[in-house]
A = this chain, B = another copy of it.
Amino acid sequence: MSPLLNPLLALFLRDVRLAIRVGGGGGIGVLFFLIVTVLMPFAIGPDLALLGRIGPAILWLGALLASLLTLDRLFAADHEDGSLDLISMSETPLELAIATKAAAHWLTTGLPLVIATPFLGLFMNLDGTASAAVALTLLAGTPALTFVGLIGAALSVALRRGGLLLAVLVLPLTVPVLIFGVAASNAAIVGPVPFGTPFTILCALTLVSLVVGIFAAAAALRQGME
């Protein structure tokens, strides 16, 4: 195997393995998503029409919070046990290592959210098309959340502070993703805009956040290393 791919594959497999074994990763994220989404009807009341109308919004918000709040240990854990030191001493560029970790995080946290969405759609009184539309937009949009969240995760290493601070820093940055994600879902459900327009923008946002997220996170980690 190529001398660059082999280390990255090793890192990817390790992160996926850790997420599965520890159980703290993907599982907790989906559970949080589930609980937050199910809490909404309790708060809003059992008005099915209303729930159906704001269902996509609620699913997106839940996914947003679940993605960001599971991200805070992404680099912090590697920093605290010294792995980050060794990772930065290898020939593999830090940017690629970060992208690999992000991919593993998305696979173990983002993707389960997408898969859980159709089931949660039932609670929200969404029909098949609507659920599928939300799931599709989440499939396109959760990577953007992960990549934007990377910046916060890297900052929280530099700051030696995690948890809510990360969410507070990153949430305003995710507003565009949220807007176009919900807009695309609604476009597919009720119109009048064609689904394609906001969906294309959503995909473009994901690509932008991929680049910005990875480079900003690498910069933050390098700066934080002291």
Contact = CB atoms under 8 A, between A and B. Distances in A.
Interface of A: 24, 28-29, 31-32, 35-36, 39-40, 42-45, 50, 53-54, 57-58, 60-61, 64-66, 69-70, 72-73, 161-165, 167-168, 171-172, 175, 178-179, 182, 186
Contacts of A35: 167-168, 171-172
A40 B54 CA distance: 10
B32 A58 contact: no
Given A42-B179, A43-B57, 6 more contacts: A28-B164, A28-B168, A31-B168, A39-B175, A44-B54, A54-B54
Given A24-B161, A165-B24, A168-B28, A43 B73 contact: no
A61 B39 contact: yes
Nearest to A181: B43
17 contacts: A28-B165, A32-B164, A35-B168, A35-B171, A35-B172, A39-B64, A42-B175, A42-B178, A42-B179, A42-B182, A43-B57, A43-B58, A43-B179, A54-B54, A65-B65, A69-B164, A73-B163
Contacts of A28: 164-165, 168
Nearest to A59: B43
A182 B43 contact: yes
A178 B41 CA distance: 10
A168 B36 CA distance: 9
